[in-house]
Amino acid sequence: MEIRDLKYFCVTAELEHVTKAANQLGVAQPFLTRVIRGLESELGVLLFNNIGRSIKLNQYGEALYGMAKKLVNDFDGIYSEMEQVLERYQRNTVFIADSQGYFSDIMMCYRSLYPNNKISVAYCSRNEQIRKLISGEANFALSCPPLPEDPSRGIKTEVVYHEYATVLFPPGHKLLDKTSVTVTDLSSEPMVAPLPGSGVRNCLEAITQKYNFVPNIVCETNDSNLLMKMVTEGVGYSILGRSYVVLNPFLKAYCRPLESEYNNGYFGLSYNTNIFSPNGEEFVSFIQAFFENREKDVQNAIDLPHT
């Protein structure tokens, strides 16, 4: 006995006519008749009485109909629930990044454009990004420097942004008298730094290797709000993405460009083409447009040279 057979039986019972039921179900009348006969043979009783050209449930049919109708409704409910779950899953985008500075702007912009879609964002180190993309735990990863492409695993990367490093000082810091600062200027100053593995920390490590510069790190955190608070309260300076600073009117006054050919980095958006999400192309286009517009806003706001 299959759920399909019970569904066909219920429709036949409700219409009280085999031909009409077959037409509604989209099957041939002889096939429907065989389904009904099969149920009767399996149960060992007749289910219908013939009344002229119509049929009507007998006492056994009435008993089966009550139970069968509930089963059919429950089964249809499973399909309905699964369709809703699949729809929510298809509209959900899990986005990970090794830099938190863009999170709030990306989320607010995405929600304004796609209010029916869900987006989840989380900080994730570079090595974890690759693992989560391969496993399907994440749909997209933003990383600086960009993750390498790996066709054998389906990993594709598109460069979406070119960011410059800016030094943010506490209000009243002596180096704010300068129009730009050098690595030598920073050598003895206390620093609040992102944790190893973050995008900005990767840029910082490239600078330290080039200039044999050992920063005086007094605190490490990937909590951008905590980092801002510690800098503004005088704990130390920090190196941040230029766009994050200059688009904040309060912070802009306390930042200075860093004089170094290594003061910039590229961000790449990576995803797994083997398990590309249904709204994947839409999200890629969104991120590309987001950073294009962000750079326009930066150019309008900035009055500092790139280097």
User: What CATH number is attached to the domain comprising 248?
Assistant: 3.40.190.290
Of 71, 89, 107, the last residue of a domain is 89
Q: Are residues 50 and 101 in the same domain?
A: no
Q: Are residues 116 and 198 in the same domain?
A: yes
Say if residue 305's pLDDT is above 60: no
- What backbone torsions phi and psi does residue 159 show, to the nearest 5 degrees? -70, 125
Q: Are residues 229 and 101 in the same domain?
A: yes
Say if residue 283's pLDDT is above 80: yes
Q: Are residues 135 and 210 in the same domain?
A: yes
Give a yes or no: residue 154 inside a domain.
yes
- Domain tally, the chain: 2
Q: Are residues 17 and 83 in the same domain?
A: yes
Of 67, 89, 111, the last residue of a domain is 89
Q: Which domain holds residue 217?
A: 92-301
**DSSP sequence for the chain:** --HHHHHHHHHHHHHT-HHHHHHHHTS-HHHHHHHHHHHHHHHTS--EEEETTEEEE-HHHHHHHHHHHHHHHHHHHHHHHHHHHHHHHHTEEEEEES-GGGHHHHHHHHHHH-TTSEEEEEE--HHHHHHHHHHTS-SEEEESSPPPPBGGGTEEEEEEEEEEEEEE--TT-GGGGSSSB-HHHHTTSEEEEPPTTSHHHHHHHHHHHHHT---EEEEE---HHHHHHHHHTTS-BEEEEHHHHHTSHHHHTTEEEB--TTSEEEEEEEEEGGG--TTHHHHHHHHHHHHHHHHHHHHHH--S---
Query: Cβ of 183: how many Cβ atoms within 10 Å?
Result: 18
Q: Are residues 41 and 152 in the same domain?
A: no
Give a yes or no: residue 241 inside a domain.
yes
Domain of residue 18, CATH code: 1.10.10.10
Residue 127 burial by Cβ neighbours in a 10 Å radius (0-12, 13-18, 19+): exposed
User: How far does the chain reach from its first CA to its final CA, in angstroms?
Assistant: 76
Average pLDDT rounded to a whole number, residues 183-211? 85
Q: Are residues 244 and 257 in the same domain?
A: yes
Say if residue 115's pLDDT is above 70: yes
Q: Are residues 105 and 64 in the same domain?
A: no
Average pLDDT rounded to a whole number, residues 12-27? 90
Q: Give residue 81's pLDDT.
A: 65
Say if residue 135's pLDDT is above 50: yes
Of 64, 89, 114, the last residue of a domain is 89
Give a yes or no: residue 307 inside a domain.
no
CA angle 180, 186, 192 (to 5 degrees): 110
Average pLDDT rounded to a whole number, residues 83-111? 76
Identity of the residue numbered 167? V
Confidence of residue 170 (pLDDT cuts 50, 70, 90): very high
Give a yes or no: residue 113 inside a domain.
yes
Q: Are residues 58 and 113 in the same domain?
A: no
Give a yes or no: residue 306 inside a domain.
no
- What backbone torsions phi and psi does residue 15 show, to the nearest 5 degrees? -90, -20
Give a yes or no: residue 161 inside a domain.
yes
Distance CA 231, CA 254 (A): 10
Give a yes or no: residue 102 inside a domain.
yes
Q: Give residue 75's pLDDT.
A: 80
Give a yes or no: residue 34 inside a domain.
yes
Q: Are residues 83 and 99 in the same domain?
A: no
Q: Are residues 30 and 113 in the same domain?
A: no
The answer to whether residues 138 and 129 touch, using CB atoms and an 8 Å cutoff, is: yes
The answer to whether residues 261 and 198 touch, using CB atoms and an 8 Å cutoff, is: no
Average pLDDT rounded to a whole number, residues 105-113? 91
Q: Give residue 83's pLDDT.
A: 55
Distance CA 174, CA 172 (A): 6
Distance CA 272, CA 280 (A): 10
Q: Are residues 85 and 96 in the same domain?
A: no
